[in-house]
A and B are shown apart, each in its own frame.
Chain A
Amino acid sequence: MRGVSTEAALLLVGVPVLLWTLIPIYHMFLFAMSPKDAAFSGQLWPSHPTFRNFEIVFGQKHYFLYNFWRQMFNSLVISCATAVLTLMIASAAAFAISRLRMKGGRWVMNLALFTYFIPAAFLAVPMYKTMGMYGLLNNDWALILAMVTVASPYAIWILRQASDKLPVELDEAALIDGASPFQLFRLIYIPLMVPSLIAVGTYALLLAWNEYLYAFLLLSRETSLTLPVALGNFLSADDSPWELLMTAGFIYALPPAAIYYAFRKYMSSGLTAGAVKG
């Protein structure tokens, strides 16, 4: 009897949680599968489901979507560049602070941590003005560098915690064998840090792929936009094709979800060590 009431109580929580989680996502999917005039009917499943919207998006057959593939490609390039740069900068800094026992390393760490706590939206306005002064506006590099700035503090923090756990004897043995710190970094440190590097790389990749605010401030030329900004532009017109917006948005949401689930094992260890912004 007690078992039955526990199951009932669990279901009483589980069902609302499932609905709460999935409704906005399902609604998006429903729009994507519906013909234009049926999308607004309020049905739970369209009477004539269609892939027509996907055809229009993939074929770039609407003026809002003329640069769909181009913008997808921009998003991809910017997120990959952000991930690679963040990994290089953060692993080098974490190595110096943790393994080389840099003088003032604590200071660097605290400055990074402080940056992590500056709300991204507050840094956005000064960043926009500064990028203008550097002459980088409308250049992919503006967004890449901005995203590296936002991503690397957390990356350094996580990598430093992971590298503090590596045994000191490794470094000493390598140094006695005559290895330079650079060889130590490349041949011993990096291979041992692979799991944390995957977690941090995924974090930076997803951060850049999902970013909207910085992307729309820093890039404005139609062909240099990233996908989220292009989607946001649908809102500026009254006669926007919502079903196409939802279709493109659905396609845009798939890669990060897939990447997250693929690297979930690595992400969760990094997650519990701290907190991801966003």
Chain B
Amino acid sequence: MTATTTNIVEPTRRQPRGVGFALSEKQVWALLFTAPYIAIFLAFVVFPVGYAFWLARDPHLYIELSEDPIFLRTVVNTLVFLIVAINVKMVMALFLSGFFTHKRWWVKVLAVLFVLPWAVPSIPTILSVRFMLNPEWGVINTLIFSLTGDDGPNWLNDPTLALSLSMMVHIWKSLPFWTLILLAGRLAIPGELYEAASVDGAGAWHRFRFITWPSISTLYVTCTFLSMIFTVGDFNSVYLLTGGGPADLTHVLATLGIRYLRLDQVGLAMASIVCALPLILPLVFVMMKRLSK
């Protein structure tokens, strides 16, 4: 009975293909419904991106860019940021997602609080960290002084330290989100697998190695790529903490474009973004393949 119904309905649902330019009424409606998004897309994505490429068309810009020591430093910083911060963050998220699977009342309460860094806006919390790190009156150096009698380091005045602290702020802000995603992945694993493993006497490491990891490794890799794409554009963690300083040594590609814009060098700003494309386009294509199903 069901089969016959489907057979009757099927031909009417499928629209005849390639019949001139005549669109069915349904397709006209579909165009109308997508028109607002297409308009937004043309006006605020296609046109700006096209315009950016046009402004960045002069080859001299790239010579000028490659001669700017700040640009080279920025590329290195961005790579370090992507490779170190993202991997540290994802390993922490993998570990903590395991922690949050434990069923205790206080773990549940902690899970609710743990989301706060992600739920609140960046600017007040990052500025709060910035004040904590102030060398003269920040709470960290005050504590160091009262405990040891020595002055603490000038945290944000050392490029390596400042970049590391930017990465730490980035991890603080986005760790909850990736932990939640990986936690959802872990919770989808059938519990019987773990029960069977326990009966066989498997320890915690073996349960992780042979059950958890094979089940969530794809998710883990997807999350790592996604996080990398989003982090190339993490403007706040660097700009609000260090402002790119000291001496413009902690810029990443996301903040460098804004720096050139402020110096009224729009061409260089656009060119620096174009230089980032080889970095992100491969990642974007991998993600498109994985997600556009």
State the A residues within 8 Å of B (CB).
Answer: 10, 13-14, 17-18, 20-25, 27-28, 31, 40-42, 88-90, 92-93, 95-97, 100-103, 105-106, 108-115, 117-130, 133-134, 145-146, 148-149, 152, 156-157, 168, 172, 180-182, 185, 206, 209-210, 212-213, 217, 228, 231-232, 234-235, 242, 245-246, 248-250, 252-253, 256-257, 260-261, 268, 271-272, 274-278
Contact = CB atoms under 8 A, between A and B. Distances in A.
A275 B146 contact: no
Given A117-B287, A123-B45, A125-B261, A27 B120 contact: no
Contact of B131 (A27, A105, A146): A27
A242 B115 CA distance: 26
A182 B258 contact: no
A25 B29 contact: no
B48 A123 contact: yes
Interface in B68-126: 96, 99, 102, 104, 106-107, 110, 112-117, 119-125
B223 A275 contact: yes
A181 B33 CA distance: 10
Q: Which 6 A-B pairs have the closest CB atoms?
A: A119-B233, A249-B124, A42-B142, A102-B30, A126-B48, A121-B254
5 contacts: A100-B29, A102-B33, A110-B292, A111-B41, A126-B273
Given A96-B29, A130-B48, A25 B116 contact: yes
A149 B172 contact: no
A119 B254 contact: yes
B258 A124 contact: yes
B290 to A, nearest CB: 10
A121 B48 contact: no
B115 to A, nearest CB: 7
Q: Which of A13, A41, A122 has the most CB of B within 10 A?
A: A122
A207 B44 CA distance: 17
B291 interface: yes
B33 A27 contact: no
A272 B186 CA distance: 12
Contacts of A252: 121, 123-124
A157 B273 CA distance: 26
B66 interface: no
B29 A181 contact: yes
Interface string B33-46: 11011101101110
Contacts of B119: 206, 256-257, 260-261
B151 to A, nearest CB: 14
Given A111-B41, A253-B120, A125 B113 contact: no
Nearest to A234: B127
B120 A256 contact: yes
B128 interface: yes
Contacts of A119: 229-230, 232-233, 254, 280
